[in-house]
Chain A
Amino acid sequence: MPRNRSNRVLPGFGLTLGFTLFYTSLLVLIPLAGLFYLTSGMGWETFVKKAITDPRVIAAYKLSFGASFIAAVINAFFGFILAWVLVRYRFFGKRVIDALVDIPFALPTAVSGIALTTLYAHTGWVGQLLDPFGIKISYTQTGITLALVLIGLPFVVRTVQPAIEDLEAELEEAASSLGASRWQTFTKVILPSILPSVLSGFTLAFARAVGEFGSVYFIAGNMPFKTEIAPLLIIIKLEQYDYQGAAAIGAVMLIASFLFLLIINLLQAWSRRGAVK
């Protein structure tokens, strides 16, 4: 009711919507359309050759999606534990840890990139402890995954935290008074109700990792076929003035982003439905 009334009473509809549409079109829609315009102009065969069948491009996709997937799995696991610990337990320094989880949102990727690389290089604080065991992190695919873990962590924690807060203690009490062990309560009662949020967080972290550049660029070593991620390949193509090659890979990654966005929306609708129940 008030919504309908406000449509007539509150001023500024034309002005604000007009400006919003103008600004969005100018800065988001038209530039994105330009990418598809260039891609569609090159013809299907060129597109396939530049964006799909080139072995160097395939290696980059495999690395980008593979490392991002592993990083998102690690984040789903540790992010869940971290969210659980932050909501349920009390310990010294908890509020500081809670605030630190947001660091990757606020810290520029170039900064986290050079810091991680230095830390995990074979002479670095952590790297030199691992080096005797033959474990190398910086300039390997492991390093890439590590950088993507850092970038994705807050997405999982911040999605799962509210879901754990919303859990009804009565359900857990009921389960335990009916004779369920704590582990049974966890797998049968707790996990099903927060699973949608864990999956949402996982997908958000995955999507973010696939497009990440700054933090990976430093730690990757950037060897073709080995440690060269897809976003870097776009930059390399641009530096060679191969706009078509860059745009073709860009279009593939953009379509992947749209798919992620769709999946995330579906997952969030699912977790909202779970919350209402």
Chain B
Amino acid sequence: MAGTVTRNLSGARPASRRSITEPAPVRWLLIGLSLIFIGLVLILPLVLVFTYAFQQGLDVYFASFTERDAARAINLTLTTAAIAVPLNVLFGVSAAWAITKFQFRGKNILITLIDLPFAVSPVIAGLIFVVLFGARGIFGPWLIENDIRIIFNTPGIVLATIFVTFPFVARELIPLMQAQGNEEELSAITLGASGWKTFWRVTLPNIKWGLLYGVILCNARAMGEFGAVSVVSGHIRGKTNTMPLHIEILYNDYQFTAAFAVASLLAFLAIITLILKAVIEWRTSKDIIENPES
């Protein structure tokens, strides 16, 4: 025993560093395993998307988007995101304000409810709206009588998209605003600022990076959702097909180049999302270093 201690004392630095890591062969084995695993599961599929998308040249690549059904699918995806994302941002900010600035009963239940759509299968997210609004659903007969179409139509796609992207913004903001506390808002209000002014001038600048990240993730998921939208869309070509559903049709038609071309757009979106995430994380850590008290 004594011998061990003295030995460690005599060569404190190198000995302690060696004692909390693994021998070099083990390290290289673990790094190698990680790289092979991530290569087979994540990197190769991503490389394959772009290789197949460009395999017949740029002309074919760009023709894949200008083709009528593809253009309409892109249009519908953009429209859906343009409705779903702002609504969920409004909800997320409002829920985060209510939850982090006030005490009330049932708060934990509310937080669990907000998380719920993450736990639910996307197919079930679509199913619940078909059960409500489908031709044989609970409100189906009434909707048919009044000639309102929700399922197999844009409103159903928007509803299903809102459901699956529901928690993103709130989830990003709640922990952030909890960590920041209420002092700054309280000072602003005490000094006579209105509630809106406090929000715009005090809260928003503090949460801007977290909010931006939530919006980006929400948008990526809104544009890429497949399961939920697939259930409510009815796959009407050129009418209720979003980009992911259009990919499915092209792929099942053996139009692989076109399928991967449209897929590459969504893959670009995913990569941009991840790059923005890295930038935002870098900005936040810089903010923390520059203003450690906030």
Contacts and interface: CB of A to CB of B under 8 A. Distances in A.
Nearest to B188: A10
Nearest to B265: A111
A17 B266 contact: no
A234 B123 contact: yes
B37 A78 contact: yes
Interface stretch (A49-57, A84-92, A193-201): A84-92
B52 A11 contact: no
A223 interface: no
Contacts of B189: 9-11
Given A99-B274, A114-B259, A108 B91 contact: no
A266 interface: no
B48 A115 contact: yes
B38 A231 contact: no
A5 interface: yes
A28 B163 contact: yes
A276 interface: no
Contacts of A69: none
A63 interface: no
Nearest to B263: A111
Interface size class of B (residues with CB under 8 A): 35 or more
Interface string A37-66: 110000000000000000000000000000
A177 B124 contact: no
Contact of A85 (B31, B45, B259): B31
The SS class assigned to the B binding surface is helix
A113 to B, nearest CB: 8
B40 A126 contact: yes
A3 B102 CA distance: 7
Interface stretch (B60-68, B129-137, B285-293): B129-137
A214 B256 CA distance: 17
Contacts of B4: 177-179
Given A19-B94, A106-B220, A31 B129 contact: yes
A151 to B, nearest CB: 10
Contacts of B131: 31, 34-35, 38, 243, 246-247, 250
The SS class assigned to the A binding surface is helix
| Best-buried of A84, A116, A125, A214 by chain B (most CB within 10 Å) | A214
A6 B186 contact: yes
Contacts of A101: 38, 42
A177 to B, nearest CB: 5
A163 to B, nearest CB: 16
A103 B267 CA distance: 9
A102 interface: yes
B227 A102 contact: no
A238 B127 contact: yes
A135 to B, nearest CB: 13
A108 B186 contact: no
A124 to B, nearest CB: 8
A85 to B, nearest CB: 5
Given A115-B263, A177-B5, A108 B270 contact: yes
B95 A20 contact: yes
B124 A81 contact: no
Interface string B95-125: 1011101111000001011111101111110
A108 B266 contact: yes
Given A103-B274, A110-B244, A172 B19 contact: yes
Nearest to B114: A24
B101 A10 contact: yes
Nearest 4 A/B pairs, CB to CB = A108-B224, A211-B121, A11-B195, A176-B19
Given A99-B278, A105-B217, 4 more contacts: A10-B189, A17-B98, A27-B162, A85-B30
Interface of B: 1, 4-5, 8, 16, 19-23, 27, 30-31, 33-35, 37-38, 40-46, 48-49, 52, 87, 90-91, 94-95, 97-99, 101-104, 110, 112-117, 119-124, 127-132, 134-138, 159, 162-163, 166, 181-183, 185-186, 189-190, 194-195, 198-199, 217, 220, 223-227, 230-231, 243-245, 247-248, 251, 256, 259-260, 263, 266-267, 269-271, 273-275, 277-278
